[in-house]
């Protein structure tokens, strides 16, 4: 392809992408393409890592001051002690895992993202707790933790909701199996009563961020599926230099309090306690969340 052809081919691709958006299915089926973000894509994971580490917002990982008070509360609720083994499911860049290791825990973190796992390993080494941290880059649905190995487990920031109900139950059962008798799991999920249930759309342009590293146009749609109690978002992102279009459908399954408590018991937990709104922990978005403490 010579230089003269590039603008022509880009224009043709751009035109094709616009028509794809125009002819899109108005309401896509839930869980299309897995219904999740491309966490394990190297480029996307690098961009997502930047969002995790950005202290100007808490949209990917909460800011440092909030994590500090969260960790104190988590330590008490999970009855953690130095020497305890903790399984951090969807650990991201290891910010919680390394902090727990600094308090004396042995932590295993599992996450989709190659960039996040690489950062977590480097962070553990920088803080001289790499001997107490093991980080695994893997789809958590496929992880195989040892039976009765851990004293506690974490599943933070609503990540259980990005899986279909059957997958969520299977994952919780796997975590229950990995816990010792009396072990405790902390799960954070969106409060179904407070979820935005209005359909809406948005668009913006940029040249650097989560959705691209070159000039792009981002179009978003949000839909509430009342029968499934499911939020579905569809993202169309067009590279304005090449005309290429990326489409992602993201599903976020919500749960009523009683339903999740029943699911946790069905997964193998004997008792379930609920802390609405993080039990008063001073987080900016605390009212939007419920925290479940499930005991084996």
Residue 76: give its domain's CATH number: 3.40.50.150
Asked if residue 159 and residue 225 are part of one domain, the reply reads no
Asked if residue 172 and residue 267 are part of one domain, the reply reads yes
With tokens 């939007």, the residue in question is 288
Closest-CA residue to 78 (of 173, 191, 175):
175
pLDDT category of residue 150 using cuts at 50, 70 and 90: very high
pLDDT category of residue 265 using cuts at 50, 70 and 90: very high
Asked if residue 246 and residue 165 are part of one domain, the reply reads no
Note the pLDDT tens digit of each residue in 47-56. Answer: 999 999 999 9
Predicted model pTM? 0.95
Q: What share of the chain is helix, strand, coil (3-state, %, to 5)?
A: 40, 30, 35
Asked if residue 267 and residue 122 are part of one domain, the reply reads yes
Asked if residue 223 and residue 153 are part of one domain, the reply reads no
pLDDT greater than 70 at residue 4 = no
DSSP 252-269: EE-B-HHHHHHHHHHTT-
Q: Is 2 among the domain residues?
A: no
Q: What is the mean pLDDT of residues 159-178?
A: 97
- Percent of the chain scored above 90 by pLDDT? 94
Those residues with Cβ within 8 angstroms of residue 36's Cβ, 6 or more apart along the chain or in another chain: 162, 250, 251
Q: Is 290 among the domain residues?
A: yes
Calpha distance 186→154 (Å, rounded): 5
CB of 89 closer than 8 Å to CB of 152: no
Q: What is the mean pLDDT of residues 115-141?
A: 98
Q: Is 274 among the domain residues?
A: yes
Q: What is the mean pLDDT of residues 243-251?
A: 96
- Number of domains, the chain: 2
Calpha distance 93→211 (Å, rounded): 19
Q: Which domain holds residue 98?
A: 42-193+256-295
Calpha distance 170→164 (Å, rounded): 10
Asked if residue 147 and residue 85 are part of one domain, the reply reads yes
Q: What pLDDT, on the 0 to 100 scale, is given for residue 8?
A: 87
Asked if residue 204 and residue 105 are part of one domain, the reply reads no
pLDDT greater than 60 at residue 2 = no
Q: Is 15 among the domain residues?
A: no
Q: In the sheet where 179-190 sits, what is the strand order?
A: 133-137, 106-111, 85-89, 150-155, 179-190, 289-295, 271-276
Q: What pLDDT, on the 0 to 100 scale, is given for residue 3?
A: 46
Asked if residue 202 and residue 181 are part of one domain, the reply reads no
Q: What pLDDT, on the 0 to 100 scale, is given for residue 274?
A: 98
Q: What pLDDT, on the 0 to 100 scale, is given for residue 67?
A: 97
Q: What pLDDT, on the 0 to 100 scale, is given for residue 117?
A: 98
pLDDT category of residue 167 using cuts at 50, 70 and 90: very high
In whole angstroms, how far apart are CA 117 and each of 57, 92, 160, 281? Answer: 21, 7, 19, 28
Q: How many residues does the chain have?
A: 296
Q: What is the mean pLDDT of residues 213-231?
A: 97
Asked if residue 289 and residue 181 are part of one domain, the reply reads yes
- Pairing status of strand 289-295 against strand 271-276: antiparallel
Asked if residue 97 and residue 202 are part of one domain, the reply reads no
Q: Is 23 among the domain residues?
A: no
Q: What pLDDT, on the 0 to 100 scale, is given for residue 33?
A: 85
Can you list the alpha helix ranges (DSSP code H) found in the chain?
5-22, 42-53, 64-77, 95-102, 114-126, 165-178, 257-266
Q: What is the mean pLDDT of residues 163-184?
A: 98
Q: Is 25 among the domain residues?
A: no
Note the pLDDT tens digit of each residue in 44-100. Answer: 999 999 999 999 999 899 999 999 999 999 999 999 999 999 999 999 999 999 999
Mean pLDDT over each residue of the chain, to the nearest integer: 96
Q: Is 116 among the domain residues?
A: yes
Q: Is 37 among the domain residues?
A: no
Asked if residue 184 and residue 206 are part of one domain, the reply reads no
Asked if residue 137 and residue 188 are part of one domain, the reply reads yes
Burial tier of 101 (Cβ tally within 10 Å: 0-12, 13-18, 19+): buried
């Amino acid at each position: 392809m010579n230089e003269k052809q590039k603008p022509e081919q880009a224009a043709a691709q751009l035109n094709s992408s616009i028509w794809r958006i125009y002819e899109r299915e108005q309401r896509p089926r839930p869980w299309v393409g897995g219904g999740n973000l491309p966490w394990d894509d190297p480029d996307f994971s690098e961009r997502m890592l930047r969002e995790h580490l950005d202290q100007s917002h808490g949209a990917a990982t909460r800011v440092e001051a909030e994590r500090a008070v969260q960790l104190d509360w988590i330590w008490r609720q999970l009855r953690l002690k130095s020497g305890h083994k903790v399984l951090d499911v969807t650990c991201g860049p290891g910010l919680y895992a390394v902090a727990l290791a600094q308090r004396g825990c042995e932590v295993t973190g599992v996450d989709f993202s190659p960039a996040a796992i690489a950062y977590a390993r480097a962070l553990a080494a920088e803080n001289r707790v790499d001997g107490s941290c093991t980080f695994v880059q893997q789809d958590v649905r496929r992880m195989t933790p040892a039976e009765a190995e851990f004293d506690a487990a974490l599943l933070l920031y609503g990540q259980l909701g990005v899986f279909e109900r059957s997958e969520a139950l299977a994952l919780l059962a796997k975590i229950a199996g990995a816990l010792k008798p009396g072990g405790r799991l902390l799960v954070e999920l969106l409060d179904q009563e407070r979820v935005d249930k209005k359909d809406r759309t948005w668009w913006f342009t940029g040249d650097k961020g989560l959705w691209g590293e070159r000039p792009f146009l981002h179009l978003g749609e949000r839909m509430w599926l009342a029968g499934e109690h499911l939020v579905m978002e569809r993202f169309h992102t067009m590279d304005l230099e090449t005309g290429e279009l990326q489409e992602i459908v993201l599903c976020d399954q919500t749960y009523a309090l009683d339903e999740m408590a029943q699911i946790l018991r069905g997964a193998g937990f004997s008792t379930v306690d609920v802390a609405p709104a993080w039990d008063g922990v001073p987080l900016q978005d605390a009212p939007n969340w419920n925290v479940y403490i499930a005991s084996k």
